[in-house]
Each structure stands twice: as structure tokens, then as C-alpha cells.
Amino acid sequence: MPTPLFAYRKYWAECFGPAPELPMSRAEMDALGWDSCDIILVTGDAYVDHPSFGMAVVGRVLEAQGFRVGIIAQPDWTSAEPFTVLGKPNLFFGVAAGNMDSMINRYTADRKRRNDDAYTPDNVGGKRPDRAVIVYSQRVREAYKDVPLIIGSIEASLRRIAHYDYWSDKVRRSILVDSRADLLLYGNAERAVVDVAHRLAAGEPISQIRDLRGTAFVCKKLPADYRVIDSTHLDVVGPVEPLLSPYVDTSGPSCAEGGPEAAATGECGVELMDPAGTGAPSTATAVAAVEAEPVTLLDRPREAGPSVIRIPAYEQVRDDPPLYAHASRILHKETNPHNARPLVQAHGDREVWLNPPPIPLSTEELDWVFEQPYTRLPHSSYGEARIPAYEMIRHSVNIMRGCFGGCTFCSITEHEGRIIQNRSEDSIIREVERIRDTSKAFTGVISDLGGPTANMWRLACKSEEIEAKCRKLSCVFPGICKNLNTDQTPLVHLYRRARAVPGVKKVLIASGLRYDLAVETPEYVEELVRHHVGGYLKIAPEHTEDGPLSKMMKPGIGTYDRFEAMFNKYSQAAGKKQFLIPYFIAAHPGTSDEDMMNLALWLKRHKLRADQVQTFYPSPMATATAMYYSGRNPLHKVRREGEQVSAVRGLSQRRLHKAFLRYHDPDNWPLLRTALKKMGRANLIGNGKVHLVPPRQPAKRHARVPADARPFATQHNGLPRNPARRRR
């Protein structure tokens, strides 16, 4: 077992004690009595000393180990000078893009540039570069080329191997190669970063740190003591030999006994299954007789010693989409920290090596991480500037990490893991009390008790032995695993205890709710509906049709109906008028125009009108992104002639799918009418309840201009200005 985070011997600099806030300038370092920083963290976010912000967590965890940690937040990347503001660190630079991927932060799902950034003071956009980890790393190398460079954050974590890049529409190399970093830490990485810091402080070169879980690095050749397993032996890509029919009578003479004449005339009596998988038998014309031999599994040979799985090289997945889907499937199968094996992927003459995922933090360790001396405030240098992301979560409490849902469009599992890491109830309540006692803006409302998912706290496999062997991508798809403990009564007790804290008026649940789990504990649904919903509850069925849902790994719409009935029942019993706000995704791989039409009809029957529409965003390393790029389904064994998955690529079709979700918007009616006619569904055009869109556009009404308004032209048109209005 790994060393607990709180059991390391402290570094000598612990004598300085914890800083009121981690320094961002030389003046702050001088005030703390520091002559230098041991570790400097570079981030694309504003520095907010709150446990919901990654750099604050990493910084405070390292500080608790005795290291002096400085922060360079949102530096000007046009030169190397801003990266020297704190001087040269004694141990290493840590580079991160921030809480969000810099490309997703900067661009919409339609590749349009955003003008704002919720993680920047006053919501100003453009304060971080595209592909921030690569750009920051290059500037750090330019400033101090001999200092160890370690990259992390979700941007680096999801780009640790060759990956499809939606914004350039091509497969890019591992971010390790482009950033020239010494080491990549993926996931939340507290274990890895603490271990690396202590080993570097002890004088160990970073080039020799190669055995650490949750890390990736570039090497020129593989260790000699490792046995290499070709991943295509685990998951065959290519033509498949016909299978022997299980219904054939094999008691007759073999081809060998009948001689070549029997083989030539097809009298062997052996049938082969149709290679296409239809099950139609065909008579073999030639079959070689062999004696039965024991079967040896290719991925578990008898040779002793460590093994590493070689997935297809960058050049192969770049040029061969089925191999990309295959590599994605292997990567996701090797995410259980208890049975995952190292992976290696060639990039030219170099190898990118991925160590297995880290062992999840224990409850005691996670409590220790969240109970560091965070100020829960933005850095004082920002003054009165507003940081929207902070304002949204400043009175929220994170109670767990990880997600075993396995939704293919989401990357939480690849980043935080499938095994839930839980905080203790006492630690959570202490944080609620700390918010009450220290926040001047606290009005008595805790905005959220949750995490990646609202109701997975303390849910786990019933058997540690089964959990250690399991390679399933989801514990709840296609149905809830019989080995999963779904009892949410401990969460009910936590909610009741939190709202009983003196000074707390309301505890809201804002994190995403797994309603398929919630219905397994009706007491939980009742507690949630009666006391923790602020009028609206957001849940995400994502779609209504089985085709897209199977590609998303989401439950059928019948489960939503079951939850809705319980929600309405308990709301009515509580005398409250409350509403469910369902979220749906447009343009997900495997979604047809007909699927979106049926979803629109479902929305109309239920009298739901979507205000905002979520369009599928192909984020790096997600399984759905592999479907989008390759046209294959990596949820099953990948075959070149196997299942094809349609991808909604063109902007016009993406707009159509979004229009179906907003069928009630008159601006979308012309597009929908044209599409319905092409689909042969003109019967849905009309003014009745069974129709989706009316046959004509509504009359346009001119906007009324108030008498005191000042009209202006949106662009110069060379015409004289409008005369001023007369006062009445």
C-alpha cells in the first residue's frame, strides 16, 4: 500500500509555517521570509484559495509537506519574463491549464470563440493561451531550461496519449511530446505530486522517477525486464476467421479420414458460421484436421515478470481510424487501479509510457486534503474583481470524487477514476461550519453538497475481490450491477445533519443526480424533494431513443419516467410546486435525424421547452470522441467490418439537431419544415397538438422604441445621423 499523504517526513522548510495565501510576487515572498520557492505552480486560472480549485489543492497539499510553494496565475505568455517573477524554484515547475481544458474554455461546441472566461477576474476572456499547457511549458523551458518540468491538470491528463483534437480535426501527439515535459501527472495527482516532490528533495534525478503510479513519461527504449503484449492480441482488429457452427454433427469422419476427395467435394459435414455474423451456416470446402489442444489466453501467458501493453503507435492511429478506436478501448479497459497494466505507445523513435492509475485516496487522506488552511477566497491582489466560477461554488462542499457511471461523452472517469473516494461525514460538517463562521457573504444557504455526481457518496462494490478484478466501463449500464451497493440512506443522514447545523437555513443539491440510482432508495428521493430542491432540479436523461442512449451508456427513458413520478409524488405531499429540468444532448455520435425528431415530439408531449441546448463536444480521450472520429464503437470489440457509428459532423446537421431540441423557436421552423419534408414526415407540419411545427411563420412585430431611447447604427453606413427626438 502507498504511504498515506499525512505520513511523510516533513521537508525542512516547514519551519516557516503555512502562508496566509500562497505568494504570487516577490514582495509576498519577502514578507514570508522566503529567499526562494521550492516549487512554482503555473496555472491558467486566477488563483482562488478554495478546495474546488485544483492549483489551490495542489499548492496547499505540498505546503503541508513542508515545501515553499508559489503561484504564477494567468501569466502573459508572449515572453518568458513573466515566468521569472518568483525566481528559479529549487525543485520543479508544475504547469497546469486550470480547472478546465483551455480549448473547451475558449471555444464553443461549434468552434466559435467565447468572449468571456468564468475563471478570470471580471469574466474577461483571452487571459490564457490556446493549448495552455504546451505554451506555458515552452516559456518555462525558455526561462529555466535546466529546471524539472512537470505537467498536470485535466488538459494534460486527457492528452496523455495520441488523441483526436476536435479543433484542428486531426489526431495529435501525446502532450508529453509537444510540451517536452519531464513527467506528466494524470488525475487529481496528490499522491504522485507529493511523492515526486520528496524524491526530488532527496536528490533523486527526475529522469529516474519511472515507477510512480498515475504518471507518464517519454523514453527511448523499453525496460529489458518487461514483457510486451501487443494490444491487438487482446482485441483483434481486422478480418475474423469463420467460426465452427455449434449445431453441426461432428461425429462423422473428418476431412483427414475422408481424404482429399472428401475435402474437395465438401463431404466433411462441417459447417462454418457466416463471417458476417448473421448465423447462416456455409459448408466448408477444405478443413484441416487437428487434434484438440489446450487454449492459452494471449493476454495472460505463463511467463513470469512484469508486462506492458503496446497500443498502436501515434502514426498508426493517426492514419487508421479503426486502430484509434481500438487504442481507445484498450486504454479505457486499463483504468482499474487494482488490475491495470502499464501502456506504451510509440511516437516515432520515442515511447510514451503510461503507468497504471494511482490507488484511490482513503477517507482519512481525502479529509486531510480538504481540511488544509484554505482561505476560501480569491488572492488579495484581485481586489474587488468578481470571479464568476468562484462565486458559483464558494458556499458549496465537495463530498466525494470519482464516478462509476461511465457516460461515454464525459471524461470524469478517465481523470478521477471509477472508484468513489469519500470524505467522512464529520469532515463535511466541519467544512459547513467553517463556511458559516468565516464567509462574510454567507446567507445561510449551502449551494451544494456533491461532487462529480450528487448521489454516489459511499456507494461501492459489495466485494473488494470482485472490484479488484472488474474491467467493466460502468457499474450502472446497461443495468445496475448486482454487486453494487445502492443504499443511499447514509446520504440521507448526511443531508439531515447538514441542515441541522445552527445558522444553516437551506442545503441545496446542485450536482448532477443519477436518477437511476436515486429510485433505488425512495427515502433518499423523498428527503431530496422535501428539503433540498430550490424549486427546480436539473437531471440529465440526455435522450429518449435507445440508439443514442446505448452509445452514451445512459439508462432508458423509462427510468426517467419512474423518477419523475416519485418526484411529483413527494413534491405534492410536501405541498410544493417544483419542476424537473431535463438536459439533452444534440448531435451525439449514433444519433440520427429521426432520433432527434422523436425527442422533439417527446418534449412537446411533455410540454417542455428547452431554453439552452447542449451540443455534443468531442473532448480528448472520451469514448464518444473515439466514435466521432473513427466511426466505430469501442464499447465492443473493434472490427474493421464491424458496427458503424454515424457521426454528426457537418455544421448544417448539427444546427438541425439543435433546432429539433428547440422546436418551439420560430427561428427554427423553416429549417425543421424543410427537414421534415425530406424525411417524409410532412404530416408533422400543422397547427394541431400532434404537429411539431406550424406551416407558416408568425407575423413579425416591430420592436417598440421608448421615447427616451437613443438610436444608433451598428456600423457606419455613410448616411446622415437620425434627427434627435422632440421632447413632448
Per CATH, which fold does 5-220 belong to?
Rossmann fold (3.40.50)
Cα separation values, 398 from 52, 424, 432, Å: 7, 11, 10
Q: What's the CATH code, domain 533-698?
A: 3.30.750.200
Long-range CB contacts (< 8 A, 24+ apart) of 431-438? Answer: 431/370, 431/371, 431/397, 432/397, 432/498, 432/501, 432/504, 433/501, 434/376, 435/376, 435/395, 435/397, 436/501, 436/502, 436/503, 436/504, 438/376
Is residue 434 a contact partner of residue 371, using CB atoms and an 8 Å limit? Answer: no
Question: Which residues sit opposite 282 in a β-bridge?
Answer: 272
Distance CA(171)–CA(256), nearest Å, equals 50
pTM: 0.87
Is residue 376 a contact partner of residue 240, using CB atoms and an 8 Å limit? Answer: no
| Domain segments of the chain as ranges | 5-220, 222-240+302-348, 395-517, 533-698
How confident is the model at residue 668, as a pLDDT? 96
The contacts of residue 427 (CB under 8 Å, 6+ apart) are 366, 367, 370, 371
Domains 395-517 and 533-698 share a fold: yes
Distance CA(17)–CA(189), nearest Å, equals 23
Q: Residue 419 half-sphere exposure, CB side, CA atoms within 13 Å? A: 24
**Low-confidence residues of the chain: pLDDT under 50:** 240-298, 301, 709-728
The contacts of residue 424 (CB under 8 Å, 6+ apart) are 363, 364, 367
How confident is the model at residue 35, as a pLDDT? 97
Residue 712 carries which side chain, given as an amino acid letter?
F
395, with CB counted inside 10 A (0-12, 13-18, 19+), is: buried
Is residue 504 a contact partner of residue 442, using CB atoms and an 8 Å limit? Answer: no
Of 176, 182, 141, which is closest to residue 160 (Cα–Cα)? 176
Of 88, 41, 351, 26, which is closest to residue 197 (Cα–Cα)? 41
How confident is the model at residue 293, as a pLDDT? 47
Please compute Rg for the chain using Cα positions: 29
Question: Which residues sit opposite 229 in a β-bridge?
Answer: 309
Number of H helices, E strands in the chain: 25, 25
How confident is the model at residue 411, as a pLDDT? 87
Phi-psi region of 621 (alpha: psi -120 to 50; beta: other; left: phi over 0): left
Distance CA(149)–CA(133), nearest Å, equals 11
How does 218-239 read in b/e, with b if 16+ C-beta sit within 10 Å? beeebeeeeeebebbebbebee
**What is the crossing angle of helices 522-531 and 557-573, to 10°?**
50
Distance CA(632)–CA(322), nearest Å, equals 7
Mapping DSSP to helix (H, G, I), strand (E, B) and coil, where does residue 218 land? strand
How confident is the model at residue 702, as a pLDDT? 59
Per CATH, which fold does 395-517 belong to?
Transcription Regulator spoIIAA (3.30.750)
Of 136, 134, 131, which is closest to residue 165 (Cα–Cα)? 131
How confident is the model at residue 712, as a pLDDT? 37
The single-letter DSSP state of residue 644 is B
Residues present in the chain in total:
728
| Assigned C-alpha cell, 703 | 420592436
Question: Which residues sit opposite 537 in a β-bridge?
Answer: 580
DSSP string, 583-642: EEEES-TT--HHHHHHHHHHHHHTT---SS-EEP---TT-HHHHHHHHSB-TTS---TTS
How confident is the model at residue 612, as a pLDDT? 75
Of 490, 627, 717, which is closest to residue 166 (Cα–Cα)? 627
Which residue shows C-alpha cell 492459452?
296
**What is the crossing angle of helices 425-438 and 363-370, to 10°?**
10
3-state helix, strand, coil split of the chain in percent (to 5) is 35, 15, 50
Distance CA(72)–CA(41), nearest Å, equals 6
